[in-house]
Amino acid sequence: MKFQSYPVAAYLAGKPTKTRIDIMIKKISLFIVLLALISVAAGAAVNTLVLDGSTTVGPLAKTFAAYFTKKYGVRVTVSESGSGNGAKSLINGSCTIATMSRAMKAAEIAAARQKGVNPVATIVALDGLAMVVHPANPVRSLTKAQISSIYRGAITNWREVGGPNTRIVVIQRESNSGTEESFKELVIGKGVPVTGSAETQSSNGSVKSRVSTTLSAIGFLGHGFVDGSVKVIAVNGVLPTVAAVKSGIYPVSRPLYFYTNGQPSGVVKQFVDLPKSAEGKRMITELGFINR
Amino acid sequence: MAGESGGECNRTNAFVVSARKRTLQKIAKTAGEGMLFSVASFVAVIVLFIFYFVARDAVPFFQIRGFSEFFTSSNWYPADDPARFGAFAIIYGSLMVTFGSALIAVPMGVAAAICLSDILPFSIRQYAKPVIEMLAAIPSVAFGFFALVILAPLLQNNGGPLLMWAWWILVSPFMVLAVIVLSDLLTTKITDQERRQQLHIFFLILFGLLSVFLLFKVGTILYGIQILTGTNALNVSIILSFMALPTIVSVSEDALQAVGRDIREGSYALGATRAETIIKTVLPAGSSGILAAVILGIMRALGETMVVWMASGNSSQVPEPWFNYLQAIRTLTATIAGDMGEADQVTGSARFHVLFAMGLLLLVISFISNLVSERIVVRQRKILSGQ
């Protein structure tokens, strides 16, 4: 009777009476068994697609995912950790589809082969990289050479390109970003360093928020991220419109990719083929990307 | 009577421990001690492991690239071809924001601790301290968001006026104190009572006018400053100082409390005022604890990543001139966080190992400052107990 209030002591002392701790252990084990049963059942019923990679492709992948889940009942999870991380995830086998805003590099493909992964690219859509400035900035158009000079640090004042007399705040993306790599390749050229005073932001959203609040800033965004808070400037006199990107006149545009391990089949193929369907095309246009 | 004897019997029974129980107790004791020991040693082993694994991946970088580029060059182009790994500007940026945040947080934190422990009544302190400690519970990403979305545009649009107001609010109390103390000191030697009073008033007015002039002159200069980019070292320093404050306040307040009532009362008994008691008795007695608090706060600022990554601008440059807090900088922590994703073993090994070199550098810096503070604390304790 004394032990009633100390179930642990009673248990240790080997009391034969049924104490609270016994009941508790029984309840807990029952709960665990139930949980295991439920999770096994859930795992068997639904197979999931895991997408990881570019923040540019992110909104598109999410919209596709919502549509796909509704239509086929397949659960799709989307992470946005940068194109480089997407490639890494695919190589490590931690995602089914890597979303990338640049093509895989030779080193990445070699690393994938080494691990027995065969990356296959599917082009989802086209994306123009919009050069953006603060809405109050009077500059309307820059040449590709001028933009390159700004990012290399050769031009540091807006006065030199027909703007007000203020220093230019150059905003780029971090080295993890496919958008950054595309921009470097398309505008500055490979292996040419960006000026050390360039600020680095980690996503399209934070570039937009910095440019929209900084009078003398210049940055680049995926076309789908542009809204009224920033002003798009023309490159070589061409604005990144749908027609200009599609026909290739706009100089700073790139394809967006879904990378899969081997030729896509089954559910993965269904997902990767979404951009070809009318519904997929509608979603691409709605999000500000451009159909191929 | 019978009931009493029954009670006696029970009591003796309770004290007699059976052999089975005794072995059980022994087992429980050994198991409990063993578990506690293994947990404690596990923590120590974790520290060693972190050091070992970070160092293991950091050493190859120095083997490949040597030391001189990493520590002297400011060219940070890890993704370019050829890659360059000059981290001087990044190391400098880390030290810069740490120093800046310490400059703001240490005086404020220690002052707040003194206020909490010696000036505010107990009933208010009971509420004030938990509220200050709540600051520590705010996640760093929330601070970073605040810095990026609110503080940065504020600095850009109203940077000059903001700096002026900060200068006025922060400096004017010190100015008032300085004027009073200076004019007091300059007149203590004069024996003639009347002349002394006259001179005292003269000095008060003179220094008062001087300090007002200084306040306004510097204020107007600050007012005229146009901050080009709001994501800069100043922004980060301010936010980091907020994050270091709760640690500094809480730990140094505990240290001041630990000084004890008897020492304070001894000081009062000798005729000291409250200010004299605080400055000459309580602060020296609690100085080792305050120092520990300051080091903890500084470590918090040095190791913070999220805020810095979001709000420092991440430009790998030494500001021009070198003390300019209004330019974007880049820190070690933010670089590790930002570049880790791309830097896999497969895509160029120096690029991967350089981040570990940075991590090792951070570890070494915090290790050294911990050691130094430990030394100072021990010495301080010796001096105090020796007196």
A119 located within any domain = no
CA distance A167 to A157: 4
| Six token digits for residue A161 | 């390109």
A13 located within any domain = yes
Does residue B163 surpass a pLDDT of 50?
yes
In this structure, are residues B152 and A213 in contact, taking their beta carbons and an 8 Å threshold?
A: yes
CA distance B340 to B379: 41
Query: CB within 8 A of B294, min separation 6: which ones?
Result: B102, B106, B109, B110, B248, B252
A134 and A238 part of one domain? yes
Identify all chain B residues contacting A14, using CB atoms and an 8 Å cutoff.
20
pLDDT on residue B386:
62
User: Which of A78-82, B234-238, B242-246, B252-256 is least confident?
Assistant: A78-82
- Which helix (H) or strand (E) element contains residue A53? strand A48-53
Pick the residue from chain A with its C-alpha nearest to B331: A200
The average confidence (pLDDT) of chain B is 86
Does residue A236 surpass a pLDDT of 60?
yes
Q: Which domain holds residue A11?
A: 2-44
CA distance A190 to A183: 10
Identify all chain A residues contacting B328, using CB atoms and an 8 Å cutoff.
197, 199
In this structure, are residues A91 and A112 in contact, taking their beta carbons and an 8 Å threshold?
A: yes
Q: What is the CATH number of the domain that holds A209?
A: 3.40.190.10
Rg, chain A, Cα only:
26
- Percentage of chain B exceeding pLDDT 90: 34
In this structure, are residues A199 and B233 in contact, taking their beta carbons and an 8 Å threshold?
A: no
Percent of chain A as helix, strand, coil, to the nearest 5? 45, 20, 35
Per-residue pLDDT reduced to its tens digit, B167-192: 898 888 888 888 888 888 888 777 88
Any A CB within 8 A of B300 CB: no
A176 located within any domain = yes
Per-residue pLDDT reduced to its tens digit, B78-135: 877 678 888 999 999 999 999 999 999 999 999 999 999 988 888 898 898 889 888 8
| Six token digits for residue A109 | 């493909």
The three-class DSSP label of residue A260 is strand
A36 located within any domain = yes
Q: Is B81–A210 a contact, with Cβ atoms under 8 angstroms apart? A: no
A288 located within any domain = no
E-strand stretches of B257-360: none
- Which residues of A lie closer than 8 Å to B, measured between beta carbons? 12-14, 81-82, 84-85, 88, 91, 105, 107-108, 110-111, 114, 166-167, 169, 174-176, 181, 190-194, 196-202, 206, 209-210, 213-217
CA distance B259 to B282: 7
Pick the residue from chain B with its C-alpha nearest to A82: B341
In this structure, are residues B96 and B325 in contact, taking their beta carbons and an 8 Å threshold?
A: yes
Q: Is A175–B79 a contact, with Cβ atoms under 8 angstroms apart? A: yes
Burial B248-279 (b: 16+ CB within 10 A, else e): bbbbbbbbbbebeeeebeebeeeebeeeebbe
The average confidence (pLDDT) of chain A is 84
Given the DSSP bridges, would you call strands A141-142 and A231-235 parallel, antiparallel or unpaired? parallel
- Classify the complex by whether its ipTM is higher than 0.90, answering yes or no: no
- Mean pLDDT, residues B54-82: 86
Domains within chain B, CATH numbers bracketed: 64-139+229-386 (1.10.3720.10)
**Residue for token digits 């596990």?**
B42
Provide the β-strand partners of residue A53: A80, A99
Q: Is B75–A196 a contact, with Cβ atoms under 8 angstroms apart? A: yes
Distance to chain A for B23, nearest Cα, Å: 10
Count of Cβ atoms closer than 10 Å to residue B195 Cβ: 11
Per-residue pLDDT reduced to its tens digit, B306-359: 899 888 888 888 888 888 898 899 999 999 888 776 665 555 578 888 899 999
Count: domains in chain A: 2
CA distance B231 to B329: 9
Does residue B238 surpass a pLDDT of 90?
yes
- Tell which of B13, B231, B326, B339 to mutate to test the A interface (max A CBs under 10 Å): B231
Does residue B1 surpass a pLDDT of 70?
no
Given the DSSP bridges, would you call strands A48-53 and A75-80 parallel, antiparallel or unpaired? parallel
pLDDT on residue A101:
87
Does residue A170 surpass a pLDDT of 90?
yes
Q: Is B148–A206 a contact, with Cβ atoms under 8 angstroms apart? A: yes
In this structure, are residues A181 and A160 in contact, taking their beta carbons and an 8 Å threshold?
A: no
Does residue A13 surpass a pLDDT of 70?
no
A156 located within any domain = yes
A132 and A40 part of one domain? no
- Mean pLDDT, residues A229-247: 90
Pick the residue from chain A with its C-alpha nearest to B148: A210
Q: Which of A12, A111, A175 sits opposite B78 (nearest CB)?
A: A175
Distance to chain B for A176, nearest Cα, Å: 5
How many residues are there in chain B?
Answer: 387
Phi, psi angle pair for A127, to nearest 5°: -135, 125
Does residue B45 surpass a pLDDT of 90?
yes
Q: Which of A91, A193, A198 sits opposite B80 (nearest CB)?
A: A193
A264 located within any domain = no
A103 located within any domain = no
Rg, chain B, Cα only:
29
- Mean pLDDT, residues B70-75: 88
Distance to chain B for A244, nearest Cα, Å: 30
Identify all chain A residues contacting B21, using CB atoms and an 8 Å cutoff.
13
CA distance B381 to B141: 39
Single out the residue in A219, A235, A253 at which a domain terminates: A253
